């Protein structure tokens, strides 16, 4: 019995890892916007996206300030 429980738990953990990886690689808000030099900019305010934000959240389309405002107003980040 414990073998089947262990197996089910492993499958659940594998599915969770797969789901998280898929979500992190998705671009739910569309492709990133870029300025004339090819640098990523916020889709809302047009400010240059900080390198730390791009590294922390691959595919991000909003800066921290705009993402927080969108969350406060029930929007997507």
Residue 41 lies in a domain: yes
Residue 26 lies in a domain: yes
> Domain span at residue 40?
2-72
Residue 13 lies in a domain: yes
pLDDT in tens, 29-43: 568 899 999 999 999
Burial of 63 (0-12, 13-18, 19+ CB in 10 A): buried
Number of domains in the chain: 1
Could you say which DSSP state residue 32 is in?
Answer: P
Residue 6 lies in a domain: yes
Residue 16 lies in a domain: yes
Q: Which neighbouring-strand residues pair with 33?
A: 41
pLDDT band for 25, please (50, 70, 90 cuts). Answer: low
pTM of this prediction exceeds 0.75: no
- Give me the mean pLDDT over the 24-33 stretch: 66
Q: What's CA 49's distance to the chain center, in Å?
A: 14
Residue 77 lies in a domain: no
Q: What is the mean pLDDT of the chain?
A: 82
- pLDDT at residue 56 greater than cutoff 70: yes
């Amino acid at each position: 019995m414990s073998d089947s429980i262990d197996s089910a738990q492993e499958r659940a953990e594998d599915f969770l890892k797969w789901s998280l990886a898929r979500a992190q690689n998705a671009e739910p808000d569309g492709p990133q916007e870029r300025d004339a030099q090819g640098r990523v900019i916020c889709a809302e305010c047009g400010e240059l996206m900080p390198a730390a934000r791009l590294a922390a959240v691959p595919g991000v389309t909003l800066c921290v300030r705009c993402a927080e405002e969108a969350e406060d107003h029930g929007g997507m980040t």
